[in-house]
Amino acid sequence: MNQGVVLIARNNTEIDYIKQAIFLAKRVRKYLDLPTSLVTDNVDYLYNTYKNSVDVFDKIIQVDNDKKYSYKKYYDGIFAKKQLEFKNSNRSSVYDLSPYDETLLLDTDFVVSNDILNECFVQQKDLLLYKDAFDLSGWRDKNEFTFISEIGPTFYWATCIFFRKTELNKTFFDLVSHIQEYYPHYRNLYKLNTNVFRNDHAFSIAIHIMNGYTNNNFAGTMPGTMYYCTDKDVLIDLKDDNFLFLIQKRNESNEYTPLRIKGSNVHVINKYSLNRIIDNG
Amino acid sequence: MDERLEKALDFSNYMITLDNTKRVLKEQYQDDLLYFCNGGQFTVNPGLVSFCQSLLALGQEETVLIDDNDIPIQVEDLKVFASEMVNVYSKAANKYITEYNKLKTNRTVKGIIEV
Protein backbone atom coordinates (compact mmCIF):
# COMPACT_ATOMS: atom_id res chain seq x y z
CA MET A 1 0.00 0.00 0.00
CA ASN A 2 1.50 3.33 -0.96
CA GLN A 3 0.84 6.21 1.37
CA GLY A 4 1.06 9.95 1.02
CA VAL A 5 -0.33 13.39 1.59
CA VAL A 6 -2.37 15.36 -0.94
CA LEU A 7 -2.67 19.15 -0.88
CA ILE A 8 -4.94 21.28 -3.04
CA ALA A 9 -3.70 24.75 -3.91
CA ARG A 10 -5.66 27.15 -6.09
CA ASN A 11 -4.55 30.73 -5.72
CA ASN A 12 -6.92 33.65 -5.72
CA THR A 13 -5.98 37.25 -6.42
CA GLU A 14 -4.28 37.70 -3.03
CA ILE A 15 -3.65 34.41 -1.27
CA ASP A 16 -0.80 32.27 -2.52
CA TYR A 17 -1.92 28.76 -1.57
CA ILE A 18 0.88 27.24 -3.63
CA LYS A 19 3.40 28.94 -1.36
CA GLN A 20 1.60 27.45 1.63
CA ALA A 21 1.60 24.02 -0.02
CA ILE A 22 5.39 24.12 -0.48
CA PHE A 23 5.79 25.18 3.16
CA LEU A 24 3.50 22.37 4.34
CA ALA A 25 5.07 19.70 2.11
CA LYS A 26 8.45 20.43 3.73
CA ARG A 27 6.88 20.02 7.17
CA VAL A 28 5.14 16.81 6.11
CA ARG A 29 8.51 15.41 5.05
CA LYS A 30 10.09 16.52 8.34
CA TYR A 31 7.39 15.41 10.80
CA LEU A 32 5.60 12.56 8.98
CA ASP A 33 8.26 11.35 6.55
CA LEU A 34 5.64 11.01 3.82
CA PRO A 35 5.58 12.09 0.17
CA THR A 36 3.27 14.95 -0.79
CA SER A 37 1.41 15.43 -4.05
CA LEU A 38 0.01 18.77 -5.13
CA VAL A 39 -3.29 19.33 -6.93
CA THR A 40 -3.33 22.75 -8.57
CA ASP A 41 -4.92 24.66 -11.42
CA ASN A 42 -1.77 26.71 -12.00
CA VAL A 43 1.26 24.52 -12.68
CA ASP A 44 2.87 27.31 -14.70
CA TYR A 45 2.85 29.62 -11.68
CA LEU A 46 4.40 26.88 -9.55
CA TYR A 47 7.27 26.30 -12.00
CA ASN A 48 7.79 29.99 -12.76
CA THR A 49 7.70 31.24 -9.19
CA TYR A 50 9.03 28.36 -7.13
CA LYS A 51 11.17 26.35 -9.59
CA ASN A 52 13.72 25.56 -6.85
CA SER A 53 11.05 24.11 -4.58
CA VAL A 54 9.14 21.95 -7.04
CA ASP A 55 11.04 18.83 -6.01
CA VAL A 56 9.38 18.94 -2.61
CA PHE A 57 6.40 17.35 -4.35
CA ASP A 58 6.14 13.69 -5.22
CA LYS A 59 3.62 14.35 -7.98
CA ILE A 60 1.99 17.46 -9.38
CA ILE A 61 -1.55 17.03 -10.60
CA GLN A 62 -3.05 19.65 -12.89
CA VAL A 63 -6.77 20.36 -12.66
CA ASP A 64 -8.84 22.78 -14.72
CA ASN A 65 -9.61 26.23 -13.47
CA ASP A 66 -13.31 25.40 -13.45
CA LYS A 67 -14.40 28.92 -12.43
CA LYS A 68 -16.74 27.29 -9.94
CA TYR A 69 -15.95 29.50 -7.05
CA SER A 70 -17.73 31.73 -4.65
CA TYR A 71 -16.62 34.75 -2.68
CA LYS A 72 -16.03 35.14 1.00
CA LYS A 73 -14.44 37.54 3.45
CA TYR A 74 -10.85 36.86 4.40
CA TYR A 75 -9.83 38.58 7.61
CA ASP A 76 -6.30 39.45 8.56
CA GLY A 77 -6.82 39.88 12.27
CA ILE A 78 -9.46 42.14 13.70
CA PHE A 79 -8.72 45.20 11.62
CA ALA A 80 -8.44 44.11 7.98
CA LYS A 81 -10.63 42.12 5.64
CA LYS A 82 -11.15 41.56 1.94
CA GLN A 83 -13.72 39.84 -0.20
CA LEU A 84 -11.89 37.28 -2.34
CA GLU A 85 -12.58 34.26 -4.51
CA PHE A 86 -12.93 31.01 -2.60
CA LYS A 87 -11.90 28.12 -4.86
CA ASN A 88 -12.80 25.01 -2.93
CA SER A 89 -14.50 22.82 -5.50
CA ASN A 90 -11.91 20.06 -5.95
CA ARG A 91 -11.99 18.31 -2.60
CA SER A 92 -14.60 15.73 -3.58
CA SER A 93 -12.42 14.72 -6.57
CA VAL A 94 -9.47 13.80 -4.44
CA TYR A 95 -10.46 10.14 -4.30
CA ASP A 96 -9.82 9.94 -8.06
CA LEU A 97 -6.93 12.41 -8.13
CA SER A 98 -4.86 10.93 -5.32
CA PRO A 99 -1.98 8.72 -6.48
CA TYR A 100 -1.98 6.90 -3.13
CA ASP A 101 -3.86 3.87 -1.79
CA GLU A 102 -3.90 5.56 1.60
CA THR A 103 -4.22 9.34 1.48
CA LEU A 104 -3.99 12.05 4.05
CA LEU A 105 -5.71 15.11 2.58
CA LEU A 106 -4.73 18.37 4.28
CA ASP A 107 -5.64 22.01 3.88
CA THR A 108 -2.55 24.05 3.05
CA ASP A 109 -3.10 26.16 6.18
CA PHE A 110 -2.99 23.13 8.47
CA VAL A 111 0.46 23.46 9.99
CA VAL A 112 1.82 20.00 10.81
CA SER A 113 4.09 20.09 13.85
CA ASN A 114 4.23 16.52 15.15
CA ASP A 115 3.98 12.94 13.91
CA ILE A 116 0.60 11.90 15.32
CA LEU A 117 -1.07 11.80 11.89
CA ASN A 118 1.12 8.82 11.02
CA GLU A 119 -1.20 6.85 13.31
CA CYS A 120 -3.99 7.23 10.73
CA PHE A 121 -2.29 4.68 8.53
CA VAL A 122 -2.41 1.93 11.16
CA GLN A 123 -6.03 2.48 12.18
CA GLN A 124 -8.67 -0.03 11.14
CA LYS A 125 -11.14 2.60 9.98
CA ASP A 126 -10.87 3.47 6.28
CA LEU A 127 -12.15 7.02 6.69
CA LEU A 128 -11.12 9.44 9.42
CA LEU A 129 -12.02 13.08 10.04
CA TYR A 130 -12.00 15.43 13.00
CA LYS A 131 -15.40 16.19 14.44
CA ASP A 132 -14.05 18.13 17.39
CA ALA A 133 -11.36 20.75 17.33
CA PHE A 134 -9.80 23.00 19.93
CA ASP A 135 -10.36 26.75 19.56
CA LEU A 136 -7.31 28.57 20.85
CA SER A 137 -9.44 31.52 21.99
CA GLY A 138 -11.38 29.41 24.47
CA TRP A 139 -14.39 31.73 24.42
CA ARG A 140 -15.89 31.64 20.94
CA ASP A 141 -19.24 30.01 20.33
CA LYS A 142 -18.49 26.56 18.88
CA ASN A 143 -22.04 25.75 17.81
CA GLU A 144 -21.26 26.18 14.12
CA PHE A 145 -18.51 23.57 14.53
CA THR A 146 -20.68 21.15 16.51
CA PHE A 147 -23.67 20.79 14.19
CA ILE A 148 -23.90 22.03 10.61
CA SER A 149 -27.17 23.85 11.33
CA GLU A 150 -29.80 24.11 14.02
CA ILE A 151 -31.49 20.97 12.71
CA GLY A 152 -28.38 19.54 11.22
CA PRO A 153 -26.19 16.52 11.83
CA THR A 154 -22.76 16.44 13.44
CA PHE A 155 -20.16 18.79 11.99
CA TYR A 156 -17.02 17.19 10.54
CA TRP A 157 -13.97 19.19 9.51
CA ALA A 158 -12.88 18.65 5.91
CA THR A 159 -9.55 20.28 6.79
CA CYS A 160 -7.86 16.99 7.40
CA ILE A 161 -9.16 13.71 5.98
CA PHE A 162 -7.64 10.26 5.92
CA PHE A 163 -9.04 7.69 3.51
CA ARG A 164 -8.16 4.38 1.92
CA LYS A 165 -9.21 3.61 -1.62
CA THR A 166 -12.09 1.25 -1.01
CA GLU A 167 -15.34 0.72 -2.85
CA LEU A 168 -17.25 2.25 0.04
CA ASN A 169 -15.07 5.34 0.14
CA LYS A 170 -15.52 5.73 -3.62
CA THR A 171 -19.27 5.77 -3.00
CA PHE A 172 -18.73 8.30 -0.23
CA PHE A 173 -16.67 10.71 -2.34
CA ASP A 174 -19.11 10.35 -5.24
CA LEU A 175 -21.87 11.29 -2.81
CA VAL A 176 -19.91 14.39 -1.75
CA SER A 177 -19.64 15.34 -5.46
CA HIS A 178 -23.38 14.88 -5.84
CA ILE A 179 -24.06 17.08 -2.80
CA GLN A 180 -21.74 19.70 -4.23
CA GLU A 181 -23.52 19.60 -7.58
CA TYR A 182 -26.94 19.98 -5.98
CA TYR A 183 -25.79 22.20 -3.15
CA PRO A 184 -28.81 24.60 -3.23
CA HIS A 185 -31.09 21.62 -2.63
CA TYR A 186 -29.01 20.25 0.25
CA ARG A 187 -28.54 23.73 1.69
CA ASN A 188 -32.33 24.06 1.91
CA LEU A 189 -32.84 20.51 3.11
CA TYR A 190 -30.35 20.88 5.95
CA LYS A 191 -31.23 24.54 6.56
CA LEU A 192 -27.65 25.74 6.22
CA ASN A 193 -27.37 29.43 6.94
CA THR A 194 -24.72 30.20 4.34
CA ASN A 195 -24.79 30.59 0.58
CA VAL A 196 -21.10 29.83 0.25
CA PHE A 197 -20.34 26.20 -0.52
CA ARG A 198 -18.38 24.68 2.34
CA ASN A 199 -16.63 21.34 2.11
CA ASP A 200 -17.14 20.85 5.85
CA HIS A 201 -20.89 20.90 5.26
CA ALA A 202 -20.81 18.67 2.17
CA PHE A 203 -18.68 16.05 3.91
CA SER A 204 -20.81 16.24 7.07
CA ILE A 205 -24.00 15.73 5.06
CA ALA A 206 -22.44 12.83 3.17
CA ILE A 207 -21.40 11.16 6.44
CA HIS A 208 -24.91 11.68 7.80
CA ILE A 209 -26.40 9.99 4.73
CA MET A 210 -23.86 7.13 4.76
CA ASN A 211 -24.74 6.63 8.43
CA GLY A 212 -28.36 5.98 7.45
CA TYR A 213 -29.41 9.54 8.31
CA THR A 214 -28.31 9.09 11.90
CA ASN A 215 -25.24 9.80 13.97
CA ASN A 216 -23.22 6.66 13.61
CA ASN A 217 -19.64 5.64 13.05
CA PHE A 218 -19.19 5.46 9.28
CA ALA A 219 -16.28 7.87 9.75
CA GLY A 220 -13.78 7.41 12.54
CA THR A 221 -12.03 10.15 14.44
CA MET A 222 -8.62 11.43 13.46
CA PRO A 223 -5.98 10.83 16.12
CA GLY A 224 -5.01 13.69 18.41
CA THR A 225 -6.37 17.20 18.53
CA MET A 226 -6.68 19.73 15.76
CA TYR A 227 -6.08 23.16 17.26
CA TYR A 228 -7.38 26.13 15.33
CA CYS A 229 -7.59 29.87 15.43
CA THR A 230 -9.82 31.99 13.25
CA ASP A 231 -8.80 34.64 10.76
CA LYS A 232 -9.49 37.28 13.43
CA ASP A 233 -6.39 35.94 15.21
CA VAL A 234 -2.85 36.48 13.99
CA LEU A 235 0.13 34.15 13.82
CA ILE A 236 3.11 36.35 14.62
CA ASP A 237 5.93 33.87 15.05
CA LEU A 238 6.71 30.26 14.18
CA LYS A 239 10.00 28.55 14.81
CA ASP A 240 9.92 24.83 14.07
CA ASP A 241 6.97 23.61 16.19
CA ASN A 242 6.74 26.70 18.38
CA PHE A 243 3.87 29.07 17.50
CA LEU A 244 3.14 32.50 18.92
CA PHE A 245 -0.34 33.86 18.26
CA LEU A 246 -2.26 36.99 19.03
CA ILE A 247 -5.73 35.79 19.91
CA GLN A 248 -8.75 38.07 19.78
CA LYS A 249 -9.90 38.93 23.30
CA ARG A 250 -13.36 38.15 24.55
CA ASN A 251 -15.84 41.04 24.42
CA GLU A 252 -13.18 43.26 22.90
CA SER A 253 -13.38 44.38 19.32
CA ASN A 254 -9.82 45.63 19.12
CA GLU A 255 -7.56 43.79 21.55
CA TYR A 256 -5.55 40.62 21.47
CA THR A 257 -4.01 38.33 24.03
CA PRO A 258 -0.80 36.41 23.25
CA LEU A 259 -0.67 32.62 23.27
CA ARG A 260 2.22 30.27 22.74
CA ILE A 261 1.71 26.65 21.69
CA LYS A 262 4.41 24.08 21.00
CA GLY A 263 4.41 20.71 19.31
CA SER A 264 0.79 20.62 18.14
CA ASN A 265 -0.87 20.71 14.73
CA VAL A 266 -2.65 24.02 14.22
CA HIS A 267 -5.12 25.06 11.55
CA VAL A 268 -4.12 28.67 10.91
CA ILE A 269 -7.17 30.14 9.24
CA ASN A 270 -5.63 33.62 8.90
CA LYS A 271 -3.90 32.98 5.57
CA TYR A 272 -2.35 36.42 5.37
CA SER A 273 -0.48 35.95 8.64
CA LEU A 274 0.61 32.44 7.67
CA ASN A 275 2.02 33.72 4.39
CA ARG A 276 3.91 36.49 6.20
CA ILE A 277 5.46 33.88 8.46
CA ILE A 278 6.46 31.79 5.42
CA ASP A 279 7.95 34.86 3.73
CA ASN A 280 9.97 35.74 6.80
CA GLY A 281 11.06 32.15 7.43
CA MET B 1 -5.07 56.09 33.36
CA ASP B 2 -5.68 55.70 37.05
CA GLU B 3 -2.80 53.68 38.49
CA ARG B 4 -5.19 51.37 40.38
CA LEU B 5 -7.07 50.55 37.20
CA GLU B 6 -3.86 50.10 35.24
CA LYS B 7 -2.54 47.57 37.78
CA ALA B 8 -5.83 45.68 37.74
CA LEU B 9 -5.85 45.57 33.93
CA ASP B 10 -2.28 44.28 33.89
CA PHE B 11 -3.33 41.48 36.19
CA SER B 12 -6.45 40.86 34.10
CA ASN B 13 -4.34 40.44 30.95
CA TYR B 14 -2.01 38.14 32.83
CA MET B 15 -4.92 35.98 33.99
CA ILE B 16 -6.35 35.65 30.46
CA THR B 17 -3.00 34.59 29.05
CA LEU B 18 -2.36 32.20 31.95
CA ASP B 19 -5.80 30.64 31.66
CA ASN B 20 -5.48 30.16 27.89
CA THR B 21 -2.06 28.59 28.24
CA LYS B 22 -3.30 26.22 30.96
CA ARG B 23 -6.19 25.14 28.71
CA VAL B 24 -3.77 24.34 25.90
CA LEU B 25 -1.46 22.39 28.23
CA LYS B 26 -4.38 20.32 29.51
CA GLU B 27 -5.48 19.47 25.98
CA GLN B 28 -1.92 18.59 24.98
CA TYR B 29 -1.80 16.30 28.01
CA GLN B 30 -4.87 14.50 26.65
CA ASP B 31 -3.10 14.12 23.29
CA ASP B 32 -0.03 12.74 25.02
CA LEU B 33 -2.18 10.08 26.70
CA LEU B 34 -3.00 8.44 23.36
CA TYR B 35 -1.62 4.95 22.90
CA PHE B 36 -1.90 3.08 19.62
CA CYS B 37 -1.88 -0.70 19.49
CA ASN B 38 -2.95 -3.26 16.88
CA GLY B 39 -4.84 -0.68 14.83
CA GLY B 40 -6.65 0.66 17.87
CA GLN B 41 -6.44 3.96 19.69
CA PHE B 42 -6.63 4.05 23.48
CA THR B 43 -6.72 7.08 25.73
CA VAL B 44 -4.76 5.94 28.75
CA ASN B 45 -6.55 6.55 32.02
CA PRO B 46 -6.17 5.17 35.54
CA GLY B 47 -9.26 2.97 35.10
CA LEU B 48 -7.89 1.25 32.01
CA VAL B 49 -4.48 0.76 33.63
CA SER B 50 -6.09 -0.70 36.78
CA PHE B 51 -8.35 -2.97 34.75
CA CYS B 52 -5.39 -4.38 32.85
CA GLN B 53 -3.46 -4.86 36.09
CA SER B 54 -6.48 -6.70 37.56
CA LEU B 55 -6.63 -9.03 34.55
CA LEU B 56 -2.91 -9.70 34.90
CA ALA B 57 -3.35 -10.40 38.62
CA LEU B 58 -6.05 -12.94 37.69
CA GLY B 59 -3.57 -14.69 35.45
CA GLN B 60 -4.82 -13.50 32.08
CA GLU B 61 -2.17 -12.94 29.44
CA GLU B 62 -4.36 -11.61 26.64
CA THR B 63 -7.71 -9.88 26.31
CA VAL B 64 -10.01 -7.86 24.09
CA LEU B 65 -10.41 -4.13 24.74
CA ILE B 66 -12.74 -1.60 23.10
CA ASP B 67 -10.80 1.35 21.70
CA ASP B 68 -11.70 5.04 21.41
CA ASN B 69 -13.50 4.40 18.10
CA ASP B 70 -15.58 1.58 19.66
CA ILE B 71 -13.60 -1.06 17.79
CA PRO B 72 -12.76 -4.28 19.67
CA ILE B 73 -9.02 -4.80 19.67
CA GLN B 74 -7.26 -8.07 20.43
CA VAL B 75 -4.46 -7.46 22.93
CA GLU B 76 -2.17 -10.42 22.57
CA ASP B 77 0.41 -9.54 25.19
CA LEU B 78 -1.41 -7.89 28.05
CA LYS B 79 1.72 -7.49 30.15
CA VAL B 80 3.49 -5.46 27.45
CA PHE B 81 0.29 -3.50 26.77
CA ALA B 82 -0.13 -2.57 30.44
CA SER B 83 3.51 -1.67 30.80
CA GLU B 84 3.46 0.56 27.73
CA MET B 85 0.30 2.28 28.95
CA VAL B 86 2.03 3.09 32.24
CA ASN B 87 4.96 4.51 30.29
CA VAL B 88 2.62 6.66 28.17
CA TYR B 89 0.86 7.90 31.30
CA SER B 90 4.10 8.69 33.14
CA LYS B 91 5.60 10.52 30.18
CA ALA B 92 2.45 12.59 29.63
CA ALA B 93 1.97 13.42 33.29
CA ASN B 94 5.62 14.37 33.78
CA LYS B 95 5.56 16.62 30.74
CA TYR B 96 2.34 18.22 32.00
CA ILE B 97 3.68 18.96 35.48
CA THR B 98 6.98 20.28 34.11
CA GLU B 99 5.22 22.73 31.80
CA TYR B 100 2.68 23.63 34.49
CA ASN B 101 5.39 24.39 37.04
CA LYS B 102 7.16 26.64 34.56
CA LEU B 103 3.94 28.63 34.22
CA LYS B 104 3.50 28.93 37.99
CA THR B 105 6.79 30.74 38.39
CA ASN B 106 5.96 33.38 35.81
CA ARG B 107 3.92 36.34 36.97
CA THR B 108 3.81 38.40 33.81
CA VAL B 109 2.32 37.97 30.35
CA LYS B 110 5.82 38.23 28.87
CA GLY B 111 7.07 35.55 31.25
CA ILE B 112 4.28 33.14 30.27
CA ILE B 113 4.74 33.43 26.55
CA GLU B 114 8.51 33.11 26.85
CA VAL B 115 8.26 29.82 28.75
* Domain tally, chain B: 1
With an 8 Å Cβ cutoff, are A258 and B17 in contact? Answer: yes
Look at residue B115 and tell me if it is in a domain. no
Q: Which residue has the higher pLDDT, B78 or A250?
A: B78
Tens digit of each residue's pLDDT (9 = 90 or more) over B3-15: 888 888 788 889 9
Rama region for B45: left / alpha / beta (φ>0; ψ in -120 to 50; rest): beta
Look at residue B50 and tell me if it is in a domain. yes
CB distance from A125 to chain B under 8 Å?
A: yes
CB distance from A116 to chain B under 8 Å?
A: yes
Q: How much is the pLDDT for A253?
A: 67
- Chain A positions touching B21 (Cβ under 8 A) are 259-260
Q: How much is the pLDDT for A102?
A: 98
Look at residue B114 and tell me if it is in a domain. no
A245 neighbors A259 (Cβ within 8 angstroms): yes
List the single residue in B20, B30, B69 with the smallest CB-CB distance to A217. Answer: B69
- Reply yes or no on whether the pLDDT at B104 is more than 90: no
Report ipTM for this prediction.
Answer: 0.90
What average pLDDT does chain A have? 95
Q: Considering only CA atoms, which of A100, A76, A92 is closest in space to residue A8?
A: A92
pTM of the model: 0.94
CB distance from B26 to chain A under 8 Å?
A: no
With an 8 Å Cβ cutoff, are B69 and A123 in contact? Answer: yes
- Reply yes or no on whether the pLDDT at A251 is more than 80: no
Q: How much is the pLDDT for B6?
A: 80
Q: Confidence band (pLDDT; 50, 70, 90) for A252?
A: low
- Reply yes or no on whether the pLDDT at A159 is more than 90: yes
Q: Confidence band (pLDDT; 50, 70, 90) for A113?
A: very high
- Chain B positions touching A122 (Cβ under 8 A) are 36, 39
Look at residue B104 and tell me if it is in a domain. yes
What average pLDDT does chain B have? 93
Range of the domain at B83: 3-109
Fold held by A3-231: Spore Coat Polysaccharide Biosynthesis Protein SpsA; Chain A (3.90.550)
Look at residue B15 and tell me if it is in a domain. yes
